[in-house]
């Protein structure tokens, strides 16, 4: 029940208001009365009502002074003024104190009921928003580790080079990193991974177990690390070191690499190729350390003799600018292929294949190299689809044998044509009809926003109506529209507000409500942030023109 207090020096008004207010219908309860502003102030401080109905001209302390005193103390109860003084100056002062309405005596029961209904509706919306905000804060606390993890991955892979506008959740990390040195160790699993029974039987369990094995081994040597799973057959470990003491670093890295090779062979019967980039003083250069590590693996001689990568001085950068980087060892290309397949981006996936072709077209065709590249691409495609719930086997007939068809290629152009065909088949398959459903779903959302822009629209409400996860619906919306649901909704509301201001038919607080903002001050702040000027400034521009 909403608590209501009434302050008026007229006993008839007090009795009348108590009688004409439909308390139960409005879910309200009487919380006391007072006959002057000072008594009213003390009553409100004591009872903390949700809604205050007050006169202006009263003894000891008038209504406006009482409200101002309460506002200064942070009491933000809803206020309705019921006064016999219908003067503009009083009304203007009252509006500055953020009151709900200003009524002149005598006011009819219907008018009083209507005004109270509006105030109660605002109170209900505020409670709903407060609950939603608490829920949002709780979810943010749950998502912070995920945001941190994805940001670190973007920095290490080079996918992000924005080192200024950082997520708030990583502020502590970067402050710590600025006092450290950094080196990246990479692990690449060879073809024995696909032959591992553990890997084939349960991919997710394999990922979980290898994660634990790697972390346990690394923590025996280094305390501060970040483990990054790049994709199905490559992993990176960021090691953060004190700048002062790194005397035993080379020896520690050599021992760690040897232990990891042995553990993967013992536990999973998988051969792992491990290398380390050079130490970086600046955390923004960790991507370079990772590229250096992969560049070592890309040397065919090292691929045939993994032990040759052990014992090398990690502080010596071994990257030759003219060194030809194979696609399978290029993180950027790997990521591009994975993302392209996930979103059925045929053009993006074929661009990766074109890059391989351009790198190799002047070289004699090596069937072994072609098979290796083809299998690695097929593996990335398989698990990129699997991550979004699509089994690649369901896209092909039982007779299709990827490896057998790959063996038929004898030139780089044949290899390119074959892999282009695989990409085309995957991206144009009927499994992607789901994308059409997503677009239709988003169209319904856009239509709903246009029709209900003045209502309290939340993504959670729409998701509940559609029986879809809020996060999943948000991802679909951003993928199709190109911006988040929140940003799009704000943009629609601000554009409508601009149009209404330019029409000149509404007051600012009316426009605020019509575009879904309960608080006019918050509307003004959002409007200025979006347009660069306040609603009043836009009104003045319109008036001048």
What is the domain-level CATH number for residue 77? 3.40.50.2300
Question: 397: pLDDT confidence band, cut at 50, 70 and 90?
Answer: confident
Q: What is the pLDDT of residues 208-234, one digit of tens each?
A: 567 778 888 999 999 999 988 776 677
Report the half-sphere exposure of 303 (CA within 13 A, side-chain side): 15
Total domain count, the chain:
4
User: Is 75 part of a structural domain of the chain?
Assistant: yes
Look up the domain containing 316 and give its range.
178-323
User: Is 265 part of a structural domain of the chain?
Assistant: yes
Question: 374: pLDDT confidence band, cut at 50, 70 and 90?
Answer: confident
Provide the percentage of residues in the chain whose pLDDT is more than 70.
79
User: Is 135 part of a structural domain of the chain?
Assistant: no
Q: Are residue 190 and residue 55 in the same domain, yes or no? A: no
Instruction: Name the phi and psi angles at 54, rounded to 5.
Output: -140, 150
Q: How large is the C-alpha radius of gyration of the chain?
A: 33
What distance, in Å, lies between the first and last C-alpha atoms of the chain?
A: 50
Q: Please identify, among 129, 163, 196, the residue that sits at the C-terminal boundary of a domain.
A: 129
On average, the pLDDT of the chain sits at 80
Asked whether the beta carbons of 360 and 312 are under 8 A apart, the reply is: no
More confidently predicted of 144 and 511: 511
The pLDDT score that the predictor gives to residue 305 is 45
Alpha-carbon separation of residue 400 from 188, 339, 344, 389, 404 (angstroms): 28, 25, 21, 21, 9
Q: Are residue 196 and residue 294 in the same domain, yes or no? A: yes
User: Is 172 part of a structural domain of the chain?
Assistant: no
Provide the percentage of residues in the chain whose pLDDT is more than 90.
25
The pLDDT score that the predictor gives to residue 224 is 92
Q: Please identify, among 302, 323, 344, the residue that sits at the C-terminal boundary of a domain.
A: 323
Question: 160: pLDDT confidence band, cut at 50, 70 and 90?
Answer: low
The contacts of residue 267 (CB under 8 Å, 6+ apart) are: 209, 213
Q: Are residue 206 and residue 265 in the same domain, yes or no? A: yes
What is the domain-level CATH number for residue 231? 3.30.70.270
* 18-27, 159-168, 262-271: least confidently modelled range: 159-168
Asked whether the beta carbons of 235 and 227 are under 8 A apart, the reply is: yes
More confidently predicted of 158 and 283: 283
Mean per-residue pLDDT, 129-153 = 64
Q: Are residue 282 and residue 408 in the same domain, yes or no? A: no
User: Is 470 part of a structural domain of the chain?
Assistant: yes
Q: Please identify, among 428, 455, 473, the residue that sits at the C-terminal boundary of a domain.
A: 428
Question: What is the spatial distance between Cα 474 and Cα 468, in angstroms, rounded to a whole number?
Answer: 10
User: Is 339 part of a structural domain of the chain?
Assistant: yes
The angle subtended at Cα 111 by Cα 105 and Cα 117, nearest 5°, is: 125
Q: Are residue 362 and residue 453 in the same domain, yes or no? A: no
Question: What is the spatial distance between Cα 60 and Cα 9, in angstroms, rounded to a whole number?
Answer: 11
pLDDT tops 90 at residue 432: no
Q: Are residue 54 and residue 23 in the same domain, yes or no? A: yes
What is the domain-level CATH number for residue 513? 1.10.10.60
- Indicate the SS3 state at residue 276: strand
Q: Are residue 298 and residue 355 in the same domain, yes or no? A: no
Question: What's the sign of the alpha-carbon dihedral 509, 512, 514, 519?
Answer: negative
User: Is 158 part of a structural domain of the chain?
Assistant: no
Q: Are residue 389 and residue 301 in the same domain, yes or no? A: no
Q: Are residue 248 and residue 182 in the same domain, yes or no? A: yes
Question: What is the spatial distance between Cα 406 and Cα 425, in angstroms, rounded to a whole number?
Answer: 15
Question: 298: pLDDT confidence band, cut at 50, 70 and 90?
Answer: low
Q: Are residue 347 and residue 311 in the same domain, yes or no? A: no
pLDDT tops 70 at residue 199: no
Pairing of strands 225-231, 234-242: antiparallel
Q: How many residues does the chain have?
A: 545
Q: What is the pLDDT of residues 306-327, one digit of tens each?
A: 333 433 333 322 333 333 344 4
Q: Are residue 115 and residue 202 in the same domain, yes or no? A: no
pLDDT tops 70 at residue 22: yes
Question: For residue 214, which of 228, 198, 201 has the smallest C-alpha distance?
Answer: 228
Q: Are residue 318 and residue 335 in the same domain, yes or no? A: no
User: Is 446 part of a structural domain of the chain?
Assistant: yes
């Amino acid at each position: 029940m909403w608590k209501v207090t009434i302050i008026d020096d007229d006993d008839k008004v007090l009795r009348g208001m108590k009688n004409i207010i439909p308390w139960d219908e409005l879910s309200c309860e009487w919380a006391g009365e007072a006959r002057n502003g000072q008594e009213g102030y003390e009553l409100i401080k004591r009872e903390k009502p949700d809604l205050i109905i007050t006169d202006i001209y009263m003894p000891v302390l008038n209504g406006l002074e009482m409200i101002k005193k309460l506002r200064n103390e942070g009491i933000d109860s809803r206020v309705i003024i019921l006064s016999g003084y219908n003067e503009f100056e009083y009304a203007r002062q009252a509006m500055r104190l953020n009151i709900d309405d200003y009524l002149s005596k005598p006011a009819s029961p219907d008018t009083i009921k209507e005004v109270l209904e509006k105030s109660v509706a605002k109170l209900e919306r505020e409670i709903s928003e407060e609950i939603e905000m608490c829920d949002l804060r709780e979810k943010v606390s749950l998502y912070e580790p995920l945001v941190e993890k994805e940001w670190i991955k973007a920095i290490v892979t080079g996918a992000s080079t924005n080192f200024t506008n950082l997520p708030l959740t990583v502020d502590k990390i970067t402050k710590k990193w600025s006092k450290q040195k950094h080196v990246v160790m990479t692990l690449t699993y060879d073809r024995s991974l696909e032959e591992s029974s553990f890997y084939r039987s349960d991919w997710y369990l394999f990922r979980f177990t290898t994660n634990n094995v790697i972390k346990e081994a690394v923590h025996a040597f280094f305390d501060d690390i970040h483990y990054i799973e790049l994709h199905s057959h490559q992993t990176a470990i960021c090691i953060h070191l004190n700048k002062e003491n790194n005397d035993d670093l080379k020896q520690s890295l050599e021992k760690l690499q040897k232990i990891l090779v042995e553990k993967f062979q013992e536990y999973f019967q998988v051969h792992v190729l491990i290398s380390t980039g050079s130490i970086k003083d600046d955390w923004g250069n960790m991507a370079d350390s990772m590229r250096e590590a992969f560049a070592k693996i890309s040397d065919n001689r090292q691929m045939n003799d993994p032990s040759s990568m052990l014992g090398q001085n990690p502080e010596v950068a071994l990257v030759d600018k003219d060194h030809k980087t194979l696609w399978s060892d290029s993180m950027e290309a790997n990521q591009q292929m994975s993302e392209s397949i996930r979103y059925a981006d045929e053009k993006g996936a074929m661009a990766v294949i074109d890059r391989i072709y351009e790198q190799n077209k002047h070289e004699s065709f090596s069937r072994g190299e072609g098979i290796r590249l083809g299998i690695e691409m097929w593996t990335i495609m398989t698990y990129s689809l699997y991550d979004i719930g699509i089994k690649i086997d369901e896209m092909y007939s039982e007779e299709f044998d990827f490896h057998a068809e790959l063996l038929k290629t004898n030139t780089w152009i044949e290899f390119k044509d074959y892999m282009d065909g695989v990409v085309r088949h995957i991206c144009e398959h009927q499994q992607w009809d789901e994308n059409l459903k997503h677009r239709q779903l988003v169209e319904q959302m856009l239509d709903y926003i246009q029709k209900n822009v003045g209502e309290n629209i939340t993504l959670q409400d729409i998701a509940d109506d559609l029986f879809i996860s809020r996060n999943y619906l948000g991802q679909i919306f951003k993928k199709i529209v190109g911006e988040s649901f929140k940003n799009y909704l704000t943009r629609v509301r601000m554009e409508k507000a601009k149009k209404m201001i330019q029409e000149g038919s509404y007051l600012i607080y009316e426009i605020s409500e019509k575009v879904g903002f309960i608080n006019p001050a918050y509307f003004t702040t959002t409007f200025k942030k979006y347009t660069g000027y306040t609603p009043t400034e836009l009104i003045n521009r319109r008036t001048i023109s």
